[in-house]
Structure 1
Amino acid sequence: MELTKILYRFSVNFKAITGIIIFLLFVNQVIGQVAAAPYKWGNWEAWGDLGNGKYANPVIPADYSDIDCIRVGDDYYAVSSTFQYSPGFVILHSKDLVNWETLSHAVSNLNEISPEMNWDKMNRYGTGIWAGAIRYYHNKFWIYFGTPDEGYFMTTASNPRGPWQPLTHVLKGKGWDDCCPFLDDDGQLYLIGTNYADNYKIHLFKLTADGRSIIPGYDNIIHQSEGSEANKLYKINGTYYHFFSEVKPEGRAIMMERAQKVNGPYLEEKQLSYAQKQFNEPNQGGLVQTKRGEWYFLTHHGTGDWEGRAVSLLPVNWVDGWPIIGKVSAEKIGEMVWQGKMPVKSRHIKNSTTNDEFNRTVLKQQWEWNYQPRSDKWSLTERPGWLRLKAFKPVENNNLLKAGNTLTQRAFRTQANIVTVKLDISAMASGQHAGLSHFGKPGYAAFGISCKGIVKTLQLNIKEHVFEGPVLHGRQVWLRSVWGQDGKSRFYYSINGKEFYAFGDKYQLAWGAYRGDRIAVYCYNNLKDEGYIDIDFLHYRYR
């Protein structure tokens, strides 16, 4: 009888334990399925340096399109296209490939490219400075980039902070993009680039020793395919590798071909990663090797959402002599990787500066004007500790896209973003508009003050839908924008810097003219060159 009870209890307990085990296995399977589920673009809970020896992509959740990257000693440098913004061609610096700071810009005067990029023309939306590359040769930095209307330009500097030499116009003509210099072991300098106006033929030019001119008679077409661009040229272990991207039926994919001579023929070709439209097509970027010998690929995501073309860092695995980007599939093609080990022990600085107290005599490097500004219409010294923006007539009245005194920086796609700006509006003149904007083309939202006569009124302009607010009687006003990962901005104002009140409709941040959304401060006058505002600070906090 006792033996029967013992066996019965064992049977019950065994069934219970078995049930628990089955349940736990089921839960584990479900968790595994969730973990393996496709990552939805834009809904990342974490990004960049995680502070635990790992990082999460994107490493920069903002618009740094056409990224390229090199290492010089212990330092990494990246460059990004800037289109019509000034100063142009931004240069980033990092010690670990994940935490980046804005170091400088290579182009201080866009008029060296074209007068169409000046404040009185403003005719280069969607064009201007396109993709380029940075290299380090002969103890100095070399930068090359293209503009689709003017051709290829170059500049050099012994220090990446500058000063950078005035631009040299290397190749004049329309329809060129995505160039990169290459210095061979024998000291010969080359330039590779795409003529997209001629069915995307990729040319290899010989350059003079100073890199400023193309040697006549040497123009070798080394490749042509659908949409082929994003060119880089490398020599690794004696083999020449031509990196590029091209358009396939499933989207833009990263490709590579190799040869034993720099001018080819490039007969061996390999796809390095899938197009992956669900992850906004990681494609253009730069291969870089750490001091420990590990390889990485710093890339933008070529399909821009409202934040623009964000930046990710992908591990590189060499397979059969090819640098496969990301996780290697059974087909030996790379797939997107969302987290990884920090390439170098981090300082955990997270990202570029965003705040500005305007307490210096120069603007911080995160700022870029919309087009080349009027140097006499802004000042950091006339009222120390404040940025003064002086109003002048726009190219077109009531059109922020044609108003020349607009100062911008990139908007981030993170879980929470708050931008607050404090303005002194006491010197505004009739016809003047000034304030805080989410800026892009073709749409924008301008939240600020409209002055008619001596009456100053709060106003929000969203796609020409104008919300009129209260009359402002004080000298100062605080303006604020708040948004999250969905990119829906809500505007607020305050007259004392403490109590903030929501105002107007929400505004959906947007992608346009190949650029992501930007936060901006603006100041113009439809009637005459008169009036100004002073800006005490702009605080931008995000997580």
Structure 2
Amino acid sequence: MDKFVTSVKNGMYQNPVLPMDFSDPDAVRVGDDYYLISSSFTYLPGVPVLHSRDLVHWERIGNCVEHLPFDRYAEPAHGCGTWAPALRYHAGKFYAFIPLPDEGIFYTTATNPAGPWSELHCVKSASGWIDPCPLWDDDGSVYMAHAYAKSRCGIKHRIQVSKLDPETLEVIDDGPVVFDGTLTQPTAEGPKMYKRNGWYYIFIPAGGVEFGWQTVLRSRNVFGPYEDRIVMHQGSADINGPHQGAWVDDPQGNDWFLHFQDRFELGRVVHLQPMCWHNDWPFIGLEQNGDGIGEPVNEWDCPAGEAVDGLAVSDTFPGGVPGLQWQWQANPQPEKWLRTGADGLHLTCGSDKTIWRMPNLLSQMLPAADFTAEVRLSLADAGAGAKVGVAIEGHTYSAIELCREADGCTLRVLRGDVKETVQRGQVVPVSGALSEAEEVVLIEKTVDTNEITVTIKVTDAKQVQYGFVTPAGEAADLGGAQPITRATWTGARLGVYARGGAAADAAKVANFEVKF
């Protein structure tokens, strides 16, 4: 199977509808079509754009951001980059508001959500302003709700509403803090603004990513005061931390809520919940334990609409170009990192960095908790010292790589551990943007070939087993199973890379096939 398709049984969809790391989702409907974007941090092109006709089946159609206009993103900046964005459609144009927690709030526009998207325009230069969402009001005024990142500015739990210039969309008045959740709604963040029946609504997650809940604020005045109500929590359900997402309606007049669930090494996967309104308050999910608060459902009747093809995960790299599912670990330099070739992906060698610090690591989200993959690796066009491999990257990561030696080739499995380091007198934690990793070789095997098919088996025990296909066509394991862990603000990543040797060397990755 080269694409992931959401499971539907007897007319009912199964959650999660997107079991991949589409973190901090926001979505809109335009006509009969739905569009969703998500954060992507240091992985670029970023802020992926997905399309659906029924809210259940999705396909990836583009990215809002091709590169970030700051020099630091020439290298991996783990945990930085594009955080929780907002997507809106206004006056025939799509707007994506995107925060960079160290640089400020930006927006980009497109008439076609598949792109091209404009260069980033600055809304507000600020450190610690995050999670922006605009609202075009009935009188032509434009407002933006946002939260704060304590790690950047020392502020947390607060939602602020600012006034924007209707023409430039730049902040003209920082505005008031309209909600402080310190005592009752800790870690209030991720605001999404709406207006309905004369009420201003701000949907906010609270309680933290792993075990929080969904809160809604409402007021008759955009600047408050706001009432607050918890409208969905885990309760007795088995879905932890159901919050942060998007309210959308369908052409039939039904309401829905797309939100994430933190699955740790898998990242933040996306669920779809039924939603309705009572006395001008939203109710999300299903009442199951008598407390008057909605709980997330595992399945529900499919919304009306046609199914799209699904999300690509496998890749034959037609024309030597990676598919939309792939992202570099820093600002892309395809002219430097890729060679022309029609029979696979031709990667430039020469880098001597660890996998964690390679800007030219090409990776995608883990497609599921349990899957296998086969990949053809080749060093036919590379000299001594060159390596090509496949990795499962996280704070503890591993890889299988084919290595060119002076007298032949070896196949080896390695492990990397991201470490707390001291740089220029400052402690850089494991989750820091400039964190470093140490790699060790676990097992090495001489192979009588410069081209080999390697295998990867990921299990829901949070482990990966590496292996290879012998000349007789049999599968053989190489070493024992290795642990899978999350990365900084993301789930683990499935990546391919080339390194070592000379810059004139090229490695090839071909027939990247994922099976569920």
Q: TM-score, normalised by structure 2?
A: 0.88
After superposition, residues 144-223 of structure 1 pair within 5 angstroms as 144-196=97-149, 197=153, 198-215=155-172, 217=173, 219-223=175-179
Question: For the residues of structure 2 that align with 1:498 and 1:62, how far apart are their CA atoms?
Answer: 32
Q: Look up the match of 1:484.
A: 459
Cα distance change of structure 1 residues 100 and 388 upon mapping to structure 2, 3 Å threshold: same
Distance 1:269 1:201 in 2: 13
Cα distance between partner residues in 2 of 1:535 and 1:512 = 24
| Counterpart selection for 1:378 from 311, 322, 337 | 337
Match of 2:433 in 1: none
Shift of 1:465: 4.2
**1:287 & 1:358 partners in 2: Cα distance?**
36
Residue deviations 1:451-506, cap 9 Å, x none? 23343210100233423333233242111101232232211212549322111111
Aligned counterpart, 2:54? 96
Q: Distance in 2 between matches of 1:435 and 1:520?
A: 8
How far, CA to CA, are the matches of 1:223 and 1:47 in structure 2? 40
SS, match of residue 191 in structure 2: strand
Is residue 2:326 matched to residue 1:367?
yes
- CA pair 360-211 structure 1, distance change in 2 beyond 3 A: farther
Aligned to 1:117: 73
CA displacement at 1:235 relative to structure 2: 0.6
1:497 and 1:432 map into 2 onto residues whose CA distance is 26
The answer for the alignment partner of 1:13 in structure 2 is none
Equivalent residue number for residue 466 of structure 1: 441
2:389 corresponds, among 408, 430, 435, to 435
Work out whether 1:61 is the aligned partner of 2:19: yes
Q: Over aligned residue pairs, what C-alpha RMSD do you find?
A: 2.2
* 1:281 and 2:234 matched: no
Q: Deviations over 1:158-182 (max 9, x none)?
A: 0001110001122112112111111
The one-letter code sitting in structure 1 at the alignment partner of 2:315 is: D
Task: State, as a whole percentage, how many aligned pairs show the same letter.
Answer: 30
* CA distance in structure 2 between the aligned counterparts of 1:431 and 1:295, rounded to whole angstroms: 57
Q: Is the CA contact (8 Å cut-off) linking 2:320 and 2:345 kept in structure 1?
A: no
- Which residue matches 1:408? 363
1:252 to 204, 209, 212: 212
CA distance in 2, matches of 1:540, 1:278: 28
**Take 1:47 and 1:95, find their aligned partners in 2: how far apart are those partners?**
13
Higher relative contact order (CA 8 A, sep 6+): 2
* Match status 1:342 vs 2:302: yes
Aligned letter for 2:328? W
- C-alpha contact 1:386 1:534 (8 A) present in aligned 2: yes
The SS at the match of 1:161 is: coil
Is residue 391 from structure 1 mapped to residue 346 from structure 2 by the alignment?
A: no
Task: Give the structure with the higher percent helix.
Answer: 1
Deviations 1:403-431 (A, max 9, x none): 232111111334x4121111221122323
Letter in 2 for 1:149: D
Taking a change above 3 Å as real, the CA distance of residues 138 and 496 of structure 1, as seen in their structure-2 partners, is farther
Q: Which whole-Å deviations, capped at 9, do the CAs of 1:100-147 have from their partners, x for residues lacking one?
A: 11111011012x1x22221xx32x212221101100001010000112
For residues 184-230 of structure 1, the C-alpha deviation after alignment (integer angstroms, 9 at most, x for no partner) is 11222221101233233322112122344112x45222111121101
In structure 1, the partner of 2:35 is 77
> Which deviations, in whole Å up to 9, do the C-alpha atoms of 1:256-276 show, x marking residues without a partner?
11111222222x221111255
**CA distance in structure 2 between the aligned counterparts of 1:423 and 1:213, rounded to whole angstroms:** 49
* Deviation of 1:241 (Å): 0.8
- Superposed CA deviations along residues 296-353 of structure 1, whole A, max 9, x for unmatched, are 110001x34211111110111222321111012533211121110001244274x311
Partners of 2:13 and 2:306 lie apart in 1 by 10
Task: Supply the AA of the counterpart residue of 1:220.
Answer: P
Alpha-carbon spacing, 1:361–1:159, altered in 2? closer, same or farther (3 Å): farther
Deviation, 1:67, is 0.8
Partners of 1:432 and 1:523 within 8 A in 2:
yes
If the length of structure 1 is used for normalisation, what is the TM-score?
0.84
Query: What amino acid is aligned across from residue 100 of structure 1 in structure 2?
Result: W
- What SS does structure 2 have at the residue aligned with 1:106? strand
Q: CA shift at 1:523, angstroms? A: 0.7
Answer yes or no: is the 8 Å Cα contact 2:136–2:142 preserved in 1.
yes
Q: Indicate if the aligned counterparts of 2:404 and 2:450 stay in contact, CA closer than 8 A.
A: no
Determine helix, strand or coil for the equivalent of 1:312: strand
Conserved in 2, the CA contact under 8 Å of 1:77 and 1:92?
A: yes
Q: Larger deviation: 385-394 or 67-76?
A: 385-394
2:393 aligned with 1:419, yes or no?
no
Equivalent AA in structure 2 for residue 413 of structure 1: A
Shift of the 47–91 alpha-carbon distance from structure 1 to 2, 3 Å rule, reads closer
Question: Unaligned stretches of 5+ in structure 2?
Answer: 417-438
Instruction: Look up the SS of the partner of 2:175 in the other structure.
Output: strand
Tell whether 2:514 aligns with 1:540.
yes
Gap change, CA 1:354 and 1:248, over 3 Å in 2: closer
- Residues 21-71 of structure 1 show CA distances to partners (whole Å, capped at 9, x for unaligned) of xxxxxxxxxxxxxxxxxxxxxxxxx99331531101111111111011111
3-state SS of paired residue (2:311): coil
Equivalent residue in structure 1 for 2:479, among 501, 504, 507: 504
Distance 1:479 1:250 in 2: 35
Verify the 8 A CA contact 2:160 2:177 in the aligned structure 1: yes
Aligned residues: 481
1:87, 1:368 within 8 Å by CA — same for their partners in 2?
Answer: yes
Higher mean C-alpha displacement, 228-237 vs 182-191: 182-191
SS at match of 2:207: strand
CA distance in 1, matches of 2:408, 2:72: 36
